[in-house]
Amino acid sequence: MSPSVITFLRIRQKLQKVSEVEGVLSAYLEFDPADTELAKDLSNLEETGVITEVRRNGELEFSRESRGRLDVKVDRSKLDDYFETYDSLIIRYPFDPPAEITVWQKNDDLDKGYAAACSFLKLLTSKAEVWDKTARRLFLVDQQAIRIPLEYGAQQTTGLDSALPVVTKFLDASLVDDDVRWALFRKASSRLLRDLPENNRLGFLMEKLADVFQRANEDYSLYLERFSFEDLVKNFDEKRLKFVDDLNQVLSSIQTALIAVPIGFFLIAEKFKPASGLIGANIVLAAGALVFFALLFVLSLNQGKALKGVKLALADFETEQVKKVTERSERLNTLITTTKSQFRRVAFLLHTVRILLFLFSLIVIATLLWCSIPSWQQRFPYTTKGTDSAQNRFGPKPISTRPLPNCSAPRETRSRRIM
């Protein structure tokens, strides 16, 4: 530690309202001429250029003869090893810290985070395709070049020390396939950073380093399994065909039910006969219709189980395979979404059939009651009164216009005519 820093640390304990703007510290202290050590330290720092000015009531103060408040300005660039905060330390030394560091605002987490950040940047710069030390920026080149300036905040390094060891081990240059590992890590990092502003990229990468490593490690596992996205799509297409076939079979049964139920109902309803009470024919017809509808409902329950099986199989496949998607997941998601949409349509039709079966059953019961209760038949006639009479069906019988024989003519005249 330099003598200037040691001297400044003694004065720093007495400074109040310290603020830093562009490397210049502004503060004030209560000066007492009796404190000869303080006066000596102030003079030494003024001589070395650390303290650039001392003011009392807005005017420059050169003498140290009276007590009172002094406003001082400190050029921190003269204090190479001293930093007020970790943020100021990062601004000056984001990559390669000095041998000795003195940070006034002590924080163990930030201290560990800063050390981990420097180690992480050394790892990145050793792997990155382009490292511009002069401009303090690096490039990750994947499908496009991602520029990453060495700018980050102290708070963004919190927890980095716990995530860094596994990343360092994963990217170890001594491994046989270290180039593959770096390519996967670079791809995962590029996907995370490419849409962010340049100045926010490095800090965000440090915050999300654990997530980036998890994604890169998943991709590496797929690489070891010799997995390809086309194989995944082919596998899903094969299973999707089976799903679609099962759905089409259920849909075919539903369509049959949609046609058979109304036809069966009208055939049965035609056989009902109005009566003044319950008669065997109507009871048999109603019981048969209800049994018919109940059978269709039981079959719909079986179709529902088949649909549930398709849904569970589709959900299991999606849960298992989505983890393996690395880049072109949109295509697979589209196929899965299409299959789910077809499933929902079939399920909707199945529920519609069940509702229709219930409604037709109610209508059959209502028909049986109507045919058995004369008062209902009179109040709610099936047809208009008198429509079953022959007169209304065929119209009035026409009157014959043929002349009738003249029965009042004399017998003699009639006999002549006969002759």
55, pLDDT greater than 80: yes
Q: What is the mean pLDDT of residues 35-43?
A: 83
* Closest to 184 (Cα-Cα) out of 332, 324, 326: 326
Residue 231: partners with Cβ closer than 8 Å, 6 or more residues away: none
- pLDDT level of residue 236 (50, 70, 90 thresholds): low
Helix (H, G, I), strand (E, B) or coil at 71: strand
pLDDT at 418: 42
Report which of residues 179 and 272 the model is more confident about.
179
pLDDT at 340: 75
pLDDT at 413: 44
397, pLDDT greater than 70: no
Q: What is the mean pLDDT of residues 107-131?
A: 89
Residue 273: partners with Cβ closer than 8 Å, 6 or more residues away: 279, 281, 282, 371
User: How much of the chain exceeds pLDDT 70, in percent?
Assistant: 72
User: In this predicted model, what pLDDT tens digit does every residue of 312-357 receive, in sequence order?
Assistant: 766 766 666 555 554 445 666 676 777 777 777 777 777 777 787 7
Q: What is the mean pLDDT of residues 36-53?
A: 83
Query: Angle 280-322/229-271 helices, nearest 10 degrees?
Result: 170
Please state, in angstroms and rounded to a whole number, the distance separating the CA atoms of residues 24 and 22.
Answer: 6
End-to-end CA distance of the chain: 169
Report which of residues 391 and 179 the model is more confident about.
179
pLDDT at 165: 92
Averaged pLDDT score across all residues of the chain:
76
